[in-house]
């Protein structure tokens, strides 16, 4: 019995760790798409921010400067995406793909420039786990939920904050209206372009938190291509969650659980290659089964031209 409880606790802890970057990126993608801008560049934004965070921590010796570098990089590249899609009305899918390719090649190039080597960067300071008194002592779930890094606790609070901002504030109403009926927003005297810039900028900063979690919480270094498709899985979580913060959080936990299984399944039972496929197969199954039923914001992906 004790062994079963230990296993449950370990799987839950791994689920939270795997889900955290997905939640950040999914919430970011939701802000962008709720404003009417498709952002498939979440993968690239996470990768760029993961790299920038390590560079900041490497140069300064502190995680806080690394976090600032990461959020700044995510914001900068998100604004590039916004300029291309909102101001110049470029194809949003192509712009997002360009961000992803730029991140993949750019970080590999900058690794050599900054660290003098490719592959993996030197180790830097990281966000160590912080046990919350009393809560971390709860049997089975205590250590899994409340002996995590500061970024995990930030993820916990970002879900209700995002819900409040989107559904309980004038800003959230305007953002959602921009993604549904931009003409009405424009008629009310609110700038559609400005609201879309806000949405894309928020997506960049939230995706940055997911990226820096990978490089400075799960690990303490940057590895080329370390996001490994998590940005696309986050998009799937956002769609499966129907562009709602609570739904996206639940979907990210589901995908995080799939990732946790890859650790707990013994390789003797199933070949390791098949085990590593679990999160991606689960993503495909979820999108095939439920993605078609999700209704996206009506104006998402459509440039707005004021008449």
pLDDT in tens, 145-183: 999 999 999 999 999 999 999 999 999 999 999 999 999
- What whole-number distance in Å separates Cα of residue 23 and Cα of residue 16? 10
Q: How confident is the model at residue 122 (pLDDT cuts 50, 70, 90)?
A: very high
DSSP H or E run through 142: helix 142-146
Given a contact cutoff of 8 angstroms between Cβ atoms, the answer to whether 147 and 131 are in contact is yes
Whether 98 is covered by a domain: the verdict is yes
Expressed as residue numbers, the domain containing 274 is 2-120+142-293
* Residue-level pLDDT at 307: 67
Residue 259 has pLDDT above 70, yes or no: yes
Q: How confident is the model at residue 48 (pLDDT cuts 50, 70, 90)?
A: very high
Whether 157 is covered by a domain: the verdict is yes
CA 79 to chain centre: 17
Whether 134 is covered by a domain: the verdict is no
φ, ψ of residue 89 in degrees (nearest 5): 55, 35
Structurally, how many domains does the chain consist of?
1
Work out the average pLDDT over 221-229: 93
Whether 33 is covered by a domain: the verdict is yes
Whether 301 is covered by a domain: the verdict is no
Work out the average pLDDT over 76-89: 96
Residue 99 buriedness (CB in 10 A; 0-12 / 13-18 / 19+): buried
Min mean pLDDT across 161-165, 245-249, 290-294, 296-300 is at 290-294
- What whole-number distance in Å separates Cα of residue 120 and Cα of residue 125? 15
Given a contact cutoff of 8 angstroms between Cβ atoms, the answer to whether 208 and 70 are in contact is yes
CATH number at residue 169: 1.10.3470
Whether 116 is covered by a domain: the verdict is yes
- What whole-number distance in Å separates Cα of residue 198 and Cα of residue 288? 31
Whether 234 is covered by a domain: the verdict is yes
Whether 258 is covered by a domain: the verdict is yes
């Amino acid at each position: 019995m004790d062994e079963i409880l230990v296993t449950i606790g370990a799987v839950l802890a791994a689920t939270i760790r795997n889900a955290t970057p997905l939640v950040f990126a999914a919430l970011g993608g939701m802000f962008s798409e709720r404003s009417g801008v498709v952002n498939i560049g979440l993968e690239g934004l996470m990768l760029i921010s993961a790299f920038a965070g390590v560079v900041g921590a490497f140069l300064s010796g502190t995680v806080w400067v690394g976090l600032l570098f990461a959020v700044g990089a995510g914001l900068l590249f998100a604004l590039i995406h916004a300029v291309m899609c909102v101001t110049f009305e470029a194809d949003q899918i192509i712009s997002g793909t360009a961000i992803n390719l730029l991140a993949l090649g750019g970080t590999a190039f900058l690794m050599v420039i900054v660290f003098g080597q490719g592959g993996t960067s030197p180790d830097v300071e990281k966000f160590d786990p912080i046990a919350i008194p009393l809560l971390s002592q709860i049997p089975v779930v205590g250590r899994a939920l409340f002996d995590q890094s500061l970024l995990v606790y930030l993820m916990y609070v970002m879900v209700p904050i995002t819900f409040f901002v989107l559904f309980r504030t004038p800003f959230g109403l305007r953002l959602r209206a921009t993604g549904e009926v931009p003409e009405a927003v424009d008629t009310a005297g609110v700038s559609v372009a400005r609201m879309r810039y806000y949405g894309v900028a928020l997506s960049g900063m939230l995706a940055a938190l997911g990226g820096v979690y990978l490089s400075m919480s799960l690990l303490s270094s940057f590895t080329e291509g370390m996001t490994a498709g998590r940005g696309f899985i986050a998009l799937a979580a956002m769609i499966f969650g129907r562009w709602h913060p609570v739904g996206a959080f639940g979907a990210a936990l589901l995908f995080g659980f799939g990732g946790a299984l890859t650790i707990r399944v013994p390789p003797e039972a199933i070949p390791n290659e098949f085990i590593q496929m679990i999160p991606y197969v689960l993503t495909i199954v979820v999108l095939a089964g439920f993605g078609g039923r999700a209704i996206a914001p009506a104006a998402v992906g459509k440039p707005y031209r004021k008449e």
